[in-house]
Amino acid sequence: MITRKEFLNNKPLVVAGPCSVSSRDQIIQIAKKVKRYGAHALRAQLWKPRTEPDSFQGVGARGIKWIKEIKEKIKIPIVMEMLDPTHVGKVEDVVDILWVGARNMQNFELLKRIGNDPRPVILKRGLVSTIREWMGAAKYVGLDKVIMCERGIRTGADSMRFTLDFNSALVVKHDYNLPVIIDPSHTAGRRDMVKYLTRAAIAVGADGIVVETHTNPEKELVDKNQTISTKSFKKLVSDINKVYKIIKSLN
């Protein structure tokens, strides 16, 4: 089992993959590409919380065998979102890092179940959650294993999908001494802005990023407009490593 410390030894940490797993071929192709181009873990979401009931909800448990195949053959750590407490046990031997999405940040029964699991947890900030609420959720999960993820919040600004709150990321990192990663994909809502927000995230001292990536973004079933291509991802990784070296030299 990978520990949080081992996971964060990758600097800057890069998690990449599609918004949602849609088929075996899709996720295997993406896994190969993102690992080759510098991802330290694959985001592989089998269950998706969607605003509209007729939207694609994910392939569910039938995709577990595909993820197991990736883990065995491609050998890349797996990050997966949990929507329900029952999901945690179903992926016990498959998933390395659990994930709590923004809409489930205060799903307390889910947080309690995950809190009893030894695996590291990426905890996204809720859409309008305060630092106090985010930290409260982190305590349910366990401060010794949580990785906080700032993904943008709803404000009066409408220039992009959400407003990326670097203030909260810095407060959680420096005042509470917790690792923080940034999700530039969800805050942007558009792929052309992802690279700029990613560079900014590393420049302010975030520990890493989680970015939506696909071999062919136009075929993505969920959030295709904010998903970058694997070709763009390769350049993105190169860019953030350069930014990281500059920032490290300044410190």
Q: What is the pLDDT of residues 2-32, one digit of tens each?
A: 999 999 999 999 999 999 999 999 999 999 9
Average pLDDT over residues 185-200: 97
* C-beta separation of 81 from 45 below 8 A: yes
Q: What is the mean pLDDT of the chain?
A: 95
Domain ranges across the chain: 4-47+57-250
What is the band of 1 on the pLDDT scale with cuts at 50, 70, 90?
confident
pLDDT at 251 over 80: no
82 near 57, Cβ under 8 Å? no
Three-state SS at 180: strand
User: Residue 177's pLDDT band (boundaries 50, 70, 90)?
Assistant: very high
| pLDDT given at position 198 | 98
pLDDT digits (tens, 9 = 90+) for 132-173: 999 999 999 999 999 999 999 999 999 999 999 999 999 999
Taken in order 147, 153, 158, 164, the sign of the CA dihedral is negative
Helices 131-141 and 166-174, interaxial angle, to 10°?
50
Tell me the CATH architecture of domain 4-47+57-250.
Answer: Alpha-Beta Barrel (3.20)
Q: Which residue has the tokens 């990758």?
A: 10
